[in-house]
Amino acid sequence: MIRVGTRGSKLALAQSGMVADAIGRLTGEHVELVEIKTTGDGTTVPVAELGVGVFVNQLREALEREEIDIAVHSYKDLPTAQPEHLVIGVPPREDPRDVLVAADGRTLADLGPGARIGTGSPRRIAQLNALGRGFECVPIRGNVDTRIGRVGKDLDGVILAAAGLKRVGRQAEVTEYLDPLVMLPAPAQGALAVECRKADMTSALISAKLNDRYSQAAVAAERALLQRLEAGCSAPVASLADVAEGADPGEVDLYLRGAVGAVDGSVIERLSTTAALADNGGPELAEQAAAAGRRLAEELLDAGAAQLLK
């Protein structure tokens, strides 16, 4: 039997169940989901005030105590510093974009000044305020059902991750998929992290077999940018990498965008870069992508990002 640790929310159970099904098909073994409550569960305190790793730490502790064999995380919840004794595989990434769910099927363009939009993310708030449309950003926590349930009541709309809605089967309620030019997503949004102990050879092999190299490289670039900026997962930092086969054999093209903003929307620094990466089937692809992320972070710092993050 293979024990997969997961948070107990509807979304966490849905995405961990997907991973468990994939493990079962891969190994033929019985896979059991083990629910673990984390610090971030069951509280309405904004994530920015809770600190780094609040949805992760208890899962990692269960791994280290060998109470579970594998932990499934939303990758964007992970601290940027990775423990050396734990390894991560990245299954194929879901849609990384943000979406709007609004009353009466409206889009952002349909919402006027004073429209109340629910989001507790400094990144989303900064980019909404930068539009200069006079929206009122309302801090909101809770699961997908709770957030969408407020639309048409005390909120005109909420902004959520497309991936989460797709994984719980509520994508039909999306009224607009937000273009990354308008709303650049969080680093690693839409990606899952399948984490296990490096010393557990069986689980490490499973994690490696579930890994999608292009998704892994994209996440590596985005999170390296975040780490170099010394910003946590709740900072007003956005990043998105697109990774695709290059024109020449063994070459992979990376297109990376990054942004840092003031929460009041007064300043948003946006930069992008491209890189041709060599792919020989080893870990070097992700390492090269991470190097590109650090380079773009340096450019953002030179453009004034350090002052915005203060």
Query: Which residues carry out catalysis?
Result: 77
283 exposed, middle or buried (CB, 10 Å; 0-12, 13-18, 19+)? exposed
* Closest-CA residue to 193 (of 297, 12, 61, 72): 72
How far apart CA 5 and CA 82 sit, in angstroms, is: 18
How far apart CA 57 and CA 118 sit, in angstroms, is: 27
Please give the angle made by the CA atoms of 84, 292 and 127, to the nearest 5 degrees. Answer: 100
84 exposed, middle or buried (CB, 10 Å; 0-12, 13-18, 19+)? exposed
* Closest-CA residue to 194 (of 45, 10, 17, 9): 17
How far apart CA 215 and CA 241 sit, in angstroms, is: 9
